[in-house]
Chains A and B, each alone.
Chain A
Amino acid sequence: MTQADRNEPRRRNASKLFYGTEPFVDDLPAQGDWHGGTVRSRIAHGRLIRLKFSPEFDWSQVVVVTAADIPGKNLVVCHEEDQPSLCDGTIRHYGEPLALIAAPDGELLHKALRAVEPVVEPLPAVFDPFESLKGETRIFGKDNLFLEIPISKGHAAKQFASCDVVVETNHFTPAQEHAYLETQGMRATLEGNGVRIEGSMQCPYYLVAGVARLLGIPETDVRVSAMQTGGGFGGKEDFPTMLAGHAALLARKCGRPVRMIYSRSEDMAATTKRHPAWIRRKTGLSRAGQFLAMELDVVLDGGAYATLSPFVLSRAALHAVGPYRCDHVSICARAVATNHPPNGGFRGFGCPQVHFATETHIEACAEKLGVDPVELRRMNLMKPGDAMPFGQLLGPGTYPGVVLDEALHRSRFEERRAEIEAKNRTSERRTDSGDFEKRGIGLAMFMHGTGLNAYWEKSVRSRVRLAATAEGQVCVLTAQAEFGQGTLTALAKIAAESIGLADSDILIDHPDTALVPDSGPTVASRTVSIVGSLIHEAASRLRQHIEERAGLAAIYDPRRLKAAIASCVSGGDSMVFEAEYSPTDDTDDANTWAPPNAYPAYALGCCVAEVKIDTLTGEIGVVDVHMICDAGAVVCHRLATNQVFGGAVQGIGWALTEKLAWNESGGMRNASLSDYAIPSAADVPEIHAHFLDDQHSERYRYPIGLGELPMEGPGPAIANAVAMATGRRPRRLPISPEWIVCSQGPEES
């Protein structure tokens, strides 16, 4: 029996998705909705003097909203209060929203948008974070620094002197577009004293807070219903707060429902990207290969507003050394403001960047020492009880070395490597036989702490609710959105198993804040881990209650249990059970960004990738990928395996084809799916996914987050494979055919 063949519930809405009948926001019937659009800046930095409305256009047919129409605070609610919902006089990035227009139909809307001309006074713009740090162009605060996180353990600077070998490398990882297939979309309707929002999102309660603040109304007057959401990947974490606010402002002004659906080009140009990262890594080693000292600089381009940059930076800093042991570490991590559109959350959330640096740097260390990079990793991998640079000890059962061994075994890594080495020796460039192919195999370790970091997870105070019905079924009420990860299926399964009911007797739907408590955002691989554990807790209480009520020691038959629940509810028992997140350990409340016990558990992974390279054209093909994941208990194997496939392919795209080009104003130049190349089915090989879930170990009793993990391995694994094939180490992604064929290419960034 393969892992995916286990008897598991099918994806709950699979049939509706297949037939296209599970509605996305733009599938809702027209209902007299007006169409909303956004007037955007075309410069990166400057002052908005005024908006010039063409007299040729009949403005009585449409409504226009500017910052002056905002009844509450002109703000996109997030951590820093720096981002206006509509331009407040200063333009800080290309595509910044200046005004909003709603019209009865899409065609008229586009005519109106074209009839507005922003009159601006440009200011010098800065797109390079290192330039920005010089402070000549002011974007954020006094120094354009959103946040600096220093982490220090031991005495790294001193320790380097006593190292046998010191290796220093620079790395760059690029911006990445989420390219969820459904663009951002939102619908706002006036309801009672307030507003109802329906749309594409990951975090319904973020929208409640954001819209209430913007409109100056109580949060209880904002109702948010998440629709089926066509992919998120972090791109629908913070941005929908802005879009919901815009739709609400327009609905309020025109007194009708307003629908705002971004076109693909607007979505790509205006919404967040993965943070570009510049990482310098310096490691001192003993002759035998032990990591003795490490120094790391991480710089993220945050774009013009802070949005989620502090959170991404925190995760990058906490994962910066990877799953390796080192007693003397100095990390300086900074998120810097530039005049790019804001960068935000994207699957992996800072981890892909630092793991790329770590896993390609280690290969350079191995080369310098003349040792096998696999052995160098094995020698330095952490074991349970080893301390991370910020003080957390790796938890029981967490064995990166076991994950590495499993990956070597399943991919036949050493055998393949030897075969490829032999083959590469015989196929020289431009041989008579016309053989221009070189192959390479590479691997990378990666890890991902589950949930928000301890400080923030605690501050969310997530709550879930279970409510039984008179039919003996149980409703699972959480704020977790469904955007393809299988939230509804996985959370229902956790409830069914914890209560002891059949899966079909669990009711769960897309979250509506009128009905569900705030169980926190659908981010950070926290859905099955954190929210799932709360459901388990509430479910256990429900079960205990019913057993006591029914006067039974234990009910094992799901049908008897269902009947007992039904009779309890019919007898007037409300049967509502809640659970609230309360961390067991007392985390230092002052340590927002690097709390000592940052994450309750770490998921681990190892990726092995094999590439073939045409040395004549520079074409790079990925021919084989193995993904070994250790994410604790796997709730639904079939869904989890498919998550791994999807994450791996996103990682392949990031590594090879997804090159973001900027225009002179710092906006995305290739803002279309024709010009920004995400992988197609023909571009990727069959992927092999395997989970470690040894049922005998405590670690595998509960799920650890999985959603983000698989994105983090392919980038560095492919880079290491390319290095083997070409003899040159890629220090930046994406790795282009031009770099392959151009011997003078930028090996060092």
Chain B
Amino acid sequence: MKIQMNVNGQERILDVPPLRRLIDILREDMGLVAAKIGCGEGECGACNVLVDGEAVSACLIPAVQIDGCRIVTLEGLATSNDDALAALHGAFLEHDASQCGACIPGIVMTCRGMFDDLRNRRPSEAEVRGLLAGHLCRCTGYEAIVRGILKWLEMKSEP
């Protein structure tokens, strides 16, 4: 089927099987490989991208569902002078939040997707852990990621 979508600001028309997964469209058809495949069943969050501003697992989204959607991948964010992303980058580097790195791009997209919600309130550590519950990481024990996110939100709430 023909679908139309906006990927990282560019209008695209694709002819794909209706059940082709968004993650395969991004990674294989478009070469956008920042989103990783961890589990293929929406459990680990490694493939999260923004669909109409919301972070979702691209392994669960068939092509038929993204017709007319606005997709933003980490490649798109990285080239858009996004201040919130730059600040998260700084906080993650400071806390050494990435180890093997397979889970991190997905976590970055989730954080960015939640940013507008989070910017006005300061979530507790426990809340941040809850917000991360849709992600799996096997290297870090989450500690540095949680600390990195808390630091990021602290930075953003300053005027």
A residues adjacent to B (C-beta < 8 A): 10-11, 13-24, 26-27, 29-30, 178-183, 228-231, 233, 263-264, 483-486, 638-639, 642-650, 672-674, 678, 680-682, 684, 686-687
Segment at the interface with A among B4-12, B64-72, B136-144:
B136-144
Whether B39 lies near A673 (C-beta < 8 A) is: yes
If A30-B28, A182-B38, A678-B136 touch, does A684 touch B142 (CB 8 Å cutoff)? Answer: yes
Whole-angstrom CA separation of A71 from B24 in the bound complex: 35
Question: Which of B28, B31, B142 gathers the greatest number of chain A CB atoms within 10 Å?
Answer: B142
Q: Could you name 24 residue pairs across A and B whose Cβ atoms are closer than 8 Å?
A: A18-B92, A20-B104, A21-B34, A24-B102, A27-B27, A181-B44, A182-B100, A484-B99, A638-B95, A642-B96, A642-B144, A646-B99, A646-B138, A646-B139, A646-B140, A649-B142, A650-B141, A672-B43, A673-B43, A681-B130, A682-B130, A682-B132, A684-B129, A686-B125
Whether B138 lies near A483 (C-beta < 8 A) is: no
List of A residues within 8 angstroms of B22 by Cβ: none
Whether B141 lies near A673 (C-beta < 8 A) is: no
List of B residues within 8 angstroms of A29 by Cβ: 31
Q: How far is the CB of A309 from chain B (nearest CB, A)?
A: 23
Whole-angstrom CA separation of A647 from B142 in the bound complex: 11
Indicate which residue in B27, B33, B132 contacts A681 across the interface (CB closer than 8 Å).
Answer: B132
Known A-B contacts: A231-B100, A650-B138. Give 19 more (CB < 8 A).
Answer: A11-B96, A13-B101, A19-B78, A20-B34, A20-B104, A26-B33, A179-B138, A183-B37, A264-B40, A486-B99, A645-B144, A673-B136, A674-B39, A678-B136, A681-B128, A681-B132, A684-B142, A686-B146, A687-B143
Whole-angstrom CA separation of A624 from B18 in the bound complex: 48
Q: How far is the CB of A359 from chain B (nearest CB, A)?
A: 21
Whole-angstrom CA separation of A443 from B12 in the bound complex: 58
Whether B133 lies near A680 (C-beta < 8 A) is: yes
Interface size band for B: 35 or more
Indicate which residue in B74, B75, B93, B138 contacts A181 across the interface (CB closer than 8 Å).
Answer: B138
List of A residues within 8 angstroms of B92 by Cβ: 14, 18
Residue of B nearest to A688 (CB): B143
Whether A263 lies near B99 (C-beta < 8 A) is: no
Whole-angstrom CA separation of A484 from B140 in the bound complex: 9
List of B residues within 8 angstroms of A645 by Cβ: 140-144
If A30-B28, A182-B38, A182-B102 touch, does A681 touch B96 (CB 8 Å cutoff)? Answer: no
Whole-angstrom CA separation of A10 from B92 in the bound complex: 11
Residue of B nearest to A650 (CB): B138
Closest CB pairs A-B (n = 7): A20-B34, A484-B100, A17-B101, A645-B141, A484-B99, A230-B102, A649-B141
Whole-angstrom CA separation of A24 from B35 in the bound complex: 11
Q: How far is the CB of B125 from chain A (nearest CB, A)?
A: 7
Q: How far is the CB of B89 from chain A (nearest CB, A)?
A: 5
Whole-angstrom CA separation of A485 from B130 in the bound complex: 26
Whole-angstrom CA separation of A424 from B84 in the bound complex: 47
Whole-angstrom CA separation of A483 from B130 in the bound complex: 27
Question: Which of B36, B108, B138 gathers the greatest number of chain A CB atoms within 10 Å?
Answer: B138
List of B residues within 8 angstroms of A23 by Cβ: 33
List of B residues within 8 angstroms of A642 by Cβ: 96, 99, 139-141, 143-144
Q: How far is the CB of A585 from chain B (nearest CB, A)?
A: 35
List of B residues within 8 angstroms of A680 by Cβ: 132-136, 142
Residue of A nearest to B20 (CB): A107
Whether B129 lies near A682 (C-beta < 8 A) is: yes
List of B residues within 8 angstroms of A673 by Cβ: 38-39, 41, 43-44, 136
Whole-angstrom CA separation of A543 from B99 in the bound complex: 32
Q: Is B145 interfacial (CB-CB < 8 Å)?
A: yes
Residue of B nearest to A682 (CB): B133
Whether B142 lies near A17 (C-beta < 8 A) is: no
List of B residues within 8 angstroms of A678 by Cβ: 136, 138
List of A residues within 8 angstroms of B100 by Cβ: 17, 180-182, 228-231, 483-484
Whether A10 lies near B96 (C-beta < 8 A) is: yes
List of B residues within 8 angstroms of A650 by Cβ: 138, 141
List of A residues within 8 angstroms of B40 by Cβ: 263-264
If A20-B104, A26-B37, A646-B141 touch, does A14 touch B132 (CB 8 Å cutoff)? Answer: no
List of A residues within 8 angstroms of B31 by Cβ: 29
If A30-B28, A642-B96, A673-B44 touch, does A181 touch B137 (CB 8 Å cutoff)? Answer: yes
Q: Is B46 interfacial (CB-CB < 8 Å)?
A: yes
Whether B98 lies near A18 (C-beta < 8 A) is: yes
Whether A19 lies near B96 (C-beta < 8 A) is: no
Whether A10 lies near B93 (C-beta < 8 A) is: yes
List of B residues within 8 angstroms of A181 by Cβ: 36, 38, 44, 46, 100, 102-103, 136-139
